[in-house]
Chains A and B, each alone.
Chain A
Amino acid sequence: MNTLPQELRYTTTHEWVRIENDTATIGITEHAQSLLGDLVFVDLPTLKKGLAVGDDAAVVESVKAAADVYSPVDGEVIAVNTDLNDKPELINQEPYGAGWLFKVKLVGELPLSLLSAADYEAMLDEE
């Protein structure tokens, strides 16, 4: 797992968050995409939708599985990665880059439950 970007925060449900000022970019981890396999469809949230920590935010679907993506933060959806509509495989190819899912304008404090890269890696090792 030497590819795990150190600057990101993680969740126990395999989302990652990149915090830049008051904006959070959210995606699913390399580990999550490898469990799901080739993705065929992504259902993204609608713009301006308000999200609380743990809300269903998006759905990623492979041939044989579908997984909910839960919002790791509180805030409002300000952008979604529309490239994924035609190319869901971007998530498989670049989960931490071109495969991002949506951006949220943060409200309030970051939740304490977010994991550091080291904690997330430790959690994966336990599985």
Chain B
Amino acid sequence: MLIFEISAKGRRNHLQAPRLAPAATDIPAHLLRHKAPLFPEVSELQVVRHYTQLSRKNFSIDTQFYPLGSCTMKYNPRGVHQLASLEGFLQHHPLTPASHSQGYLQSAYELQQILSHITGLSAVSLTPMAGAQGEFAGVAMIRAYHLSRGDTARTEFLVPDAAHGTNPATAVMCGFRIKEIPTDKHGDVDLDALRAAVGPHTAGIMLTNPSTLGVFERRISEIAKIIHAAGGLLYYDGANLNAILGKCRPGDMGFDVMHINLHKTFATPHGGGGPGSGPVAANDRLKPFLPTPIVGYDGKQYRWLTTKDCPQSIGRLSAFMGNAGIILRANIYARLLGREGLCRVSEYATLNANYLMARLQQAGFTLAFPDRRASHEFIITFKKEAKTLGVSAKDIAKRLLDYGVHAPTTYFPLLVPECFLIEPTETESKEELDNFINILITILKEAKDSPDLVKQAPHNLPVRRLDDLKAAKELDLTWRE
């Protein structure tokens, strides 16, 4: 039932509105609202009960194993959330003078330093509000760099065909044309195709390493050499940074600029689709172009650096300072873990992924890249099952939900048909992984013995499969009386 359907005319929460609200007699009538918006009229208990009940229809990390590939659904520590929600932080206005913002500014400055060290890049701006905005910042910085040198011919960006959809979408937002680079059969970038694609029009390349195929791009130094020799720059998509924390650094691989998904690697909550945060890190060459504001420190006081301090900056990406609360959380998470804890993240994330991959292979599942080491994630494909049993990756994903496990990422990357991209993260126990394996084995057996059970799944959730065709053709996007 919708909140609007439990509404009754004239019911209201007097406790939640001001007691004295005189009419605004000084505003001309033609500028005033004459028809109240259609909001529900409900009691506080009704609101609390309605949304609590809705919350129970969600899968979440707190309630289920959630191996969603490329999303790093690890435990979001409660202490971090609580400490970032202290009253002093919550009531702090973003335009408060720096003298009364030192607590926040210090935390942001420390995070800039931590990220710079982890990535091997010299400077960081925390302002991008999600991964895609971090990508925008990085690619816009590359554009600004070429233009600052009077190099106006660089109009093309290279993107591997395995890339996340935000990569090509971002490069287009920055005014570039896209050239897709194919992947070879081992999951690496096709170097011959890359050599053929670069030239005086190449502005740069966007890469994820480990790639979205769940493998480390072994010839990354050579790729960097090819791009740099052509006069282009390298952008690193930090979606998979969890896999290499403390093991290697994008700066050392030859990347010039990158973003970091704090809501992945730094355990900040995903919130049902955000907020994320996508700080951008750059080497000396691109540092002058970082978006503002950035936090500076003179040894005594922290303060905001603006375009006055950074005249070549690509400018401002948000009204204030990006998702400040997420930046606080990432600071607290990183400092709780410290130098040892951060290194353990990639070790155990990789251990879990390789263990799952090995056991699933033993159990007869088809790996997309059986001769490769998994990074923190890996791909299995149900191409065979789809052909022989008529059961698709989607069917198996839906059946997993019946068993109380969130499905892995399905049908991405687009290169591998009928695929699951599985990322267990470091915070899941061996027991949880074993349980997941057993469930998948059970489902595969069901697919053989009673395929309809799988094809019609889910059976145990608040709704069964939804009619997406009706949703798209008979658009119902708002409730009307």
Residues of A within 8 A of B (CB): 38, 40-41, 63-64
Contact = CB atoms under 8 A, between A and B. Distances in A.
B416 to A, nearest CB: 17
A40 B469 CA distance: 7
A1 B471 CA distance: 32
B393 to A, nearest CB: 13
10 contacts: A38-B469, A40-B469, A40-B472, A40-B473, A41-B472, A63-B468, A63-B469, A63-B471, A63-B472, A64-B468
Contacts of B472: 40-41, 63
Interface in B202-239: none
Interface in B433-481: 468-469, 471-473
Contacts, number: 10
A111 B471 CA distance: 40
B301 to A, nearest CB: 52
Contacts of A63: 468-469, 471-472
Nearest to B469: A38
A122 to B, nearest CB: 22
B169 to A, nearest CB: 13
Interface of B is mostly: helix
Contacts of B471: 63
B419 to A, nearest CB: 15
Contacts of A38: 469
A40 B474 CA distance: 9
Given A63-B468, A63-B469, A64-B468, 7 more contacts: A38-B469, A40-B469, A40-B472, A40-B473, A41-B472, A63-B471, A63-B472
Contacts of B469: 38, 40, 63
Contacts of A41: 472
Interface of B: 468-469, 471-473
Nearest to A61: B472
Contacts of A64: 468
Nearest to B467: A63
A13 to B, nearest CB: 15
Nearest to B472: A40
Which 10 residue pairs of A and B lie closest in terms of their CB atoms, listed nearest first?
A: A40-B472, A63-B468, A38-B469, A40-B473, A63-B472, A63-B469, A40-B469, A64-B468, A41-B472, A63-B471
A53 to B, nearest CB: 19
Contacts of A40: 469, 472-473
Residue of A40, A41, A64 most packed against chain B (CB within 10 A): A40
A63 B471 CA distance: 9
Residue of B468, B471, B473 most packed against chain A (CB within 10 A): B473
A22 to B, nearest CB: 33
B178 to A, nearest CB: 13
Nearest to B411: A64
Contacts of B473: 40
B387 to A, nearest CB: 15
Nearest to B468: A63
A38 B467 CA distance: 12
A63 B468 CA distance: 6
A76 to B, nearest CB: 26
B64 to A, nearest CB: 24
A63 B472 CA distance: 7
A127 to B, nearest CB: 12
A93 B376 CA distance: 45
A38 B469 CA distance: 7
Contacts of B468: 63-64
A64 B394 CA distance: 13
A46 to B, nearest CB: 22
A59 to B, nearest CB: 14
A32 to B, nearest CB: 17
A38 B468 CA distance: 10
A66 B469 CA distance: 14
Nearest to A88: B473
B78 to A, nearest CB: 37
A40 B472 CA distance: 6
A40 B468 CA distance: 10
A110 B468 CA distance: 40
A64 B473 CA distance: 13
B168 to A, nearest CB: 14
A38 B471 CA distance: 12
A57 B95 CA distance: 49
Nearest to B394: A64
A20 B469 CA distance: 35
B395 to A, nearest CB: 15
A85 B472 CA distance: 13
A85 to B, nearest CB: 12
A39 to B, nearest CB: 9
A51 to B, nearest CB: 19
A8 B473 CA distance: 31
Nearest to A64: B468
A41 B472 CA distance: 9
Nearest to A41: B472
B431 to A, nearest CB: 35
A110 B350 CA distance: 56
Nearest to B471: A63
